[in-house]
């Protein structure tokens, strides 16, 4: 009997059923549920006083927003998604300081950090700081916009009913999203690639462009307070080196280097773009060093696999974090996924071709399905195998068989659809990677309500 051992943060899981291959982020349902609940605490709505003059609002939307109190004004780092959520955070901040906002800083251009700026601004127009290449990634994949919208909704579980919602990995599931970007104020001060050291309302502040999740990212350093604002290059979960909603290549080498650079500052306080701030120099520095090493290791292992002639499917099942990093809760794959990261690296370096001539001209899906049915001894037998896989909770195999059965004219395609729905829900119950879980559940619901076209089922 083969046992799968999986150590995930503080959770040690001895799993599951012999002969069934579960994904890297699959555990027993009760454990998955406990893990997700524990992770949700990392973005519970609250204002954290980080130092005498630095406050971070967590859980007011998906990301964090922070206020730095200066002599005659305050500085806001990141502004949430829209004026509604930002307005709530601004009101919460005013309990600690009602000085006017002198400056707004965008750590990067993602909408959950930039859309609510107007809510912080009074009569005085503040300076708005961002890197000189701010927004450079925007529009790069716009041609695929329609499908990206659907995949985005699935990844974040936007259309899930309340009882199916847990979280979005590094963000709560229930956010106010109707005013996306409505409060955006364009930057008027560009930070050059070399960075900038300045003083704003008496606060010494350093801007350090550092690519990672986006090319236009920077981190902010307060040398007096020893506070580091990491933006989305650090949060308490394995980094989302690839987003299943569909994103352009995120360069892991640059990301790893940027986080290593942050660690060199040995911050006493580390404020992530999402999830709660970290206090304590030793802990904050170790987290950044380990985060950097984790990204670098996944990249190096993938490259080694590539150069050994392995394809992405094999590499995705082989790459693991180094052993000394496997018990770190902030590297648990609640958001990013190591298998997905390896596939993104493969495609980013080499494109779609896996080097195996078999895949140069793969069989057309319907033809392959017919051959699979012949191999099984007929459509009925293939359907029976699919049903048996589901009955044994071998969900991934049930899914793969249903994706053949769906093409077969003479098959009971309704039954294949039902198997797929159940298998997706079976996987979701065991899944602690929030994007995977949300995607499984959303897709199952879409199948059930007949929203998906024949191509998909
Ligand atoms: Zn973000």
Phi and psi for 77 in degrees, rounded to 5? -105, 110
**Residue 292 and residue 286: Cα distance in Å, rounded?**
10
> Which pLDDT score is estimated for 457?
60
All CATH 1.25.40.880 domain ranges in the chain, comma separated: 359-448
> Which pLDDT score is estimated for 17?
55
CA of 160 to the centre of ligand 1 (A): 21
Hey, what are 393's tokens? 């909770």
CA of 452 to the centre of ligand 1 (A): 29
> Which pLDDT score is estimated for 14?
42
Considering only CA atoms, which of 16, 106, 95, 4 is closest in space to residue 49? 95
> Which pLDDT score is estimated for 3?
33
**Residue 454 and residue 407: Cα distance in Å, rounded?**
9
**Residue 254 and residue 250: Cα distance in Å, rounded?**
9
CA of 400 to the centre of ligand 1 (A): 33
> Which pLDDT score is estimated for 2?
32
CA of 112 to the centre of ligand 1 (A): 5
**Sign of the C-alpha dihedral, residues 383, 387, 390, 392?**
negative
CA of 101 to the centre of ligand 1 (A): 22
**Alpha helices (runs of H) in 351-431, residue ranges in sequence order:** 365-376, 379-391, 395-405, 413-429
The CATH homologous superfamily to which domain 44-291 belongs is: Metallo-beta-lactamase domain (3.60.15.30)
Write out the CATH class of domain 359-448.
mainly alpha
CA of 110 to the centre of ligand 1 (A): 6
CA of 192 to the centre of ligand 1 (A): 22
Q: Is the pTM of this model over 0.85?
A: yes
All CATH 3.60.15.30 domain ranges in the chain, comma separated: 44-291
Tens of pLDDT, residue by residue over 314-354, are: 999 999 999 999 999 999 999 999 999 999 999 999 999 99
Query: Sheet harboring 269-272: ordered strands across?
Result: 196-200, 203-209, 218-222, 227-231, 269-272, 278-279
CA of 273 to the centre of ligand 1 (A): 6
Q: Pairing relation of β-strands 74-77 and 65-69?
A: antiparallel
User: 61: helix, coil or strand?
Assistant: coil
> Which pLDDT score is estimated for 137?
74
Counting as low any pLDDT under 70, the low residues of the chain are 1-19, 21, 453-457
């Amino acid at each position: 009997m083969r046992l799968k051992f999986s150590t995930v943060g503080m959770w040690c899981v001895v799993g599951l059923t012999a002969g069934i291959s579960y994904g890297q982020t699959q555990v027993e349902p009760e454990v998955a549920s406990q893990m997700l609940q524990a992770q949700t605490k990392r973005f519970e709505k609250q204002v954290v006083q980080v130092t005498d003059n630095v406050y971070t609002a967590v859980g007011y939307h998906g990301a964090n927003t922070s206020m730095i109190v200066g002599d005659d004004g305050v500085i806001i780092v990141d502004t949430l998604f829209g004026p509604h959520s930002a307005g709530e955070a601004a009101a919460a901040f005013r309990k600690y300081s009602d000085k006017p906002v002198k400056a707004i800083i965008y750590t990067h251009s993602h909408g959950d950090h930039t859309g609510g700026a107007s809510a912080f601004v009074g009569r005085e127009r503040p300076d708005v700081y961002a890197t000189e290449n701010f927004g450079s990634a925007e529009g790069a994949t716009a041609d695929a916009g329609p499908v990206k919208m659907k995949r985005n909704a699935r990844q974040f579980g936007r259309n899930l009913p309340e009882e199916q919602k847990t979280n979005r990995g590094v963000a709560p599931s229930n956010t106010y999203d109707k005013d996306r970007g409505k409060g955006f104020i364009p930057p008027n001060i560009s930070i050059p690639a070399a960075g900038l050291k300045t003083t704003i309302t008496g606060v010494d502040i350093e801007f350090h462009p550092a690519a990672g999740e986006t090319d236009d990212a920077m981190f902010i350093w307060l040398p007096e307070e020893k506070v580091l604002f990491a933006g989305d290059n650090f949060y308490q979960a394995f980094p989302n080196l690839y987003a299943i909603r569909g994103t352009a290549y995120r360069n892991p080498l640059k990301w790893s280097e940027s986080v290593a650079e942050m660690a060199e500052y040995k911050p006493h306080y580390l404020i992530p773009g999402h999830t709660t701030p970290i206090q304590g120099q030793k802990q904050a520095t170790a987290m950044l060093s380990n985060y950097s090493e984790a990204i670098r290791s996944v990249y190096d292992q993938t490259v080694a696999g590539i150069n050994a002639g392995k394809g992405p499917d094999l590499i995705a099942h082989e790459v693991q974090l180094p052993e000394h990093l496997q018990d770190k809760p902030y590297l648990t794959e609640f958001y990013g996924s190591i298998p997905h990261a390896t596939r993104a690296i493969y495609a980013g370096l080499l494109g779609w071709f896996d080097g195996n001539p078999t895949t140069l001209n793969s069989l057309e899906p319907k033809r392959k399905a017919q051959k699979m049915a012949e191999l099984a001894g007929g459509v009925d037998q293939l359907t029976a195998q699919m049903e048996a896989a589901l009955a044994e909770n071998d969900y991934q195999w049930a899914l793969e068989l249903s994706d053949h059965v769906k093409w077969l004219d003479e098959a009971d395609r309704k039954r294949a659809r039902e198997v797929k729905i159940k298998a997706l829900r079976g996987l979701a119950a065991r899944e602690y990677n929030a994007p995977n879980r949300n995607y499984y559940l959303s897709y199952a619901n879409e199948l059930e309500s007949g929203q998906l076209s024949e191509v998909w089922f």
